[in-house]
Amino acid sequence: MESTVPTIAILLAGVVVVVGGILFLRLHAFLALTLAAFLVAALTPQTALQRYFFEQESLSVVDIADDGAVLLGGRKAAGLQSGDRLQVIGQSEGGNWEPVGMLRVDGPASEASALPLRAFPAEGNVSPADLQAGRLLAVTPASTLSVTSKLKQTIGGRVAEGFGNTCMKIGILIAMAGIIGKCLLDSGAADRIVRTALRWFGEPGAPVAFMSSGFLLGVPVFFDTVFYLMIPLGKAMRMRTGRNYLLYVLTIVCGATMAHSLVPPTPGPLLVAEELNVNLGTMILAGSIVGLFCAAFGLLYASMANRIWDLPLRDSPDMSLAELEELAQVDESQLPSFGIAILPILLPVVLISGYTIIQQQPFGLVLSPDANRVAATLGDKNIALVLSALVAIVMLVWQKRTTRQELSHAVGAALSSAGVIILITAAGGAFGAVLRQTGVASLISQLPRTSPIVICSLAFLITTAIRTAQGSATVAMITAVGILSGLARDGNLGFHPVYLALAIGCGSKPIAWMNDSGFWVITRMSGMTEAEGLKFITPMTTCMGLVGLAVVLAGVTLFPMAG
């Protein structure tokens, strides 16, 4: 228990800096997350760092044989041979982790496979049971040198390493997503998608059109921007029909907000997938399925709310109704065709998800080495987003006859906006990295695991608490995955980590109120009062998050996809 208290205290201190900095001091999310990362890194004791780094380098103990041999498996055991000696690391009375004995590798356990390897205690007081329980760790001599080097890192070095590793994973993706979103807006492609959906579904199906368009556009475009784009069309529909304005507003919200938290390449689900080692194609497919369940419930909720309450059409602070009507009446001849408009959105989804699908059983295809290399290249998340961004740029240039100067300005504006998101997300990655070094993953892994339902519910509740306290869904997801990622990294979840990612995404929906920037965007642009926002928006997003959790719990129970 003595080692548990400091870990909890450090975790709480970091969360308080993030939540308190954003909520009370009004700090930018990047600054709050960075300060929290430095604080956690400074408070983490050396013994916790030793344990964390040795755990990262240790070999996996599969089982203990009847004759006392330790069976070693995993990637780090693959290069070992008979006669190799391994160091056994344990915690001394002073608390430091240091060598306490040796293991001698005795060759593979069977002739059929090189793994697992058999190893016997060779020196010191080495208990196989302690190795299996994780109280002792087996590492190679080279790994010991690597840990020694890592322990010499400064506080700033550890924070910077976490920041850089996150940038490496998500930097290109978010930058390209920013360019795609900007080009969709400037070229009129986003407007075309919404108008086509409205034409397909007609006036009676306008809510479905708004919900589906919001969900589709919410994949590459940030929620605030999607709402800015679509609310004029919702107001125009209200002007034409004279009714159902609340229904139009809520259906725009329910589609866009779920894609924002569940479907990459938006920053929150993108970082969560990377931190939990979830394939991006898998996250896109699973996030779309759960998100559509939630959005469908939101559509039902909006229909019921519209029958009970009425939201009058009012002028918004930034634009009059006359200006909004003029914006919504842009001649369709000035917009790109639907096929071209939707291509930048579908292209990366098809490339990334397609490559993921063809690798899975029973869909696995036998491709020639050259064909497999091409498929792997095109299915790479960075390549797919770059290709999509190029298509979006060509579409903008062709549609608007954009000059090089105008194109440079548009791309620069997109990258400027994306740069802020990259900074926030990378700072969150640094915060998560130093949190893991405190041993919080080991602390959480000691919780009862009788059912995956417990773990997914815990992830949902942690994310919900952080979201409710500080407002930002993205920051809540970033902070929560930093706390929980160790559960997936230890390989003992018992179910596919995509369910953990989805639970975190669903947990970022409750509870939207006045500390959420999206809450203010919705209320101000739609003409709602704050009381109306709490009455209409807050219950809907909270219920959608709970529906998403129910879908995740059903999925992880029926189709755990373990291994």
pLDDT tens across 373-394, in order?
888 888 888 898 899 899 999 9
468 confidence band (pLDDT: 50, 70, 90): confident
* pLDDT tens digits, one per residue of 201-222: 887 888 998 899 889 888 876 7
Return the percentage of the chain with pLDDT > 70, whole number: 90
Report whether the peptide linkage leading into residue 511 is cis, meaning its omega lies within 30 degrees of zero.
yes
Sequence letter at residue 75: R
Q: How many helices, marked H, and strands, marked E, lie in the chain?
A: 23, 6
Each residue's pLDDT tens digit, 177-196:
788 878 887 888 877 887 88
Residue 449 scores a pLDDT above 60: no
Count of CB atoms situated within 10 Å of the CB of 271: 28
Residues in Cβ contact with 433 at an 8 Å cutoff, skipping those fewer than 6 apart: 37, 158, 159, 161, 162, 165, 166, 482
CA distance 254 to 494: 32
- Looking at the chain, how many residues does it have? 563
Question: What SS3 class is residue 136?
Answer: coil
Asked if residue 20 has pLDDT above 80, the reply is: yes
Res 346: pLDDT: 83
Tell me the residue type at 156: G
Token digits for 59?
A: 């070999």
Place of tokens 């604080």: 39
DSSP-derived secondary structure for 168-192:
HHHHHHHHHHHHHHHHHHHTTHHHH
pLDDT tens-digit profile of 321-358? 555 555 556 677 778 888 998 898 888 878 877 777 77
pLDDT at 448 over 70: no
The domain locations on the chain are 60-139, 163-420
Dist CA 317 CA 339 (whole Å): 35
Q: How far apart are CA 471 and CA 522, in angstroms?
A: 14
Q: Please state, in angstroms and rounded to a whole number, the distance separating the CA atoms of residues 197 and 233.
A: 12
CA distance 374 to 211: 36
Instruction: State how far the Cα of 364 lies from the Cα of 359, in Å rounded to an integer.
Output: 5
Q: Which two structure tokens, joined as six digits, stand for 167?
A: 């940038």
Give the per-residue pLDDT at 1.
41
Q: Identity (one letter) of the amino acid at 317?
A: P
Beta bridge partners of 89: 99, 137
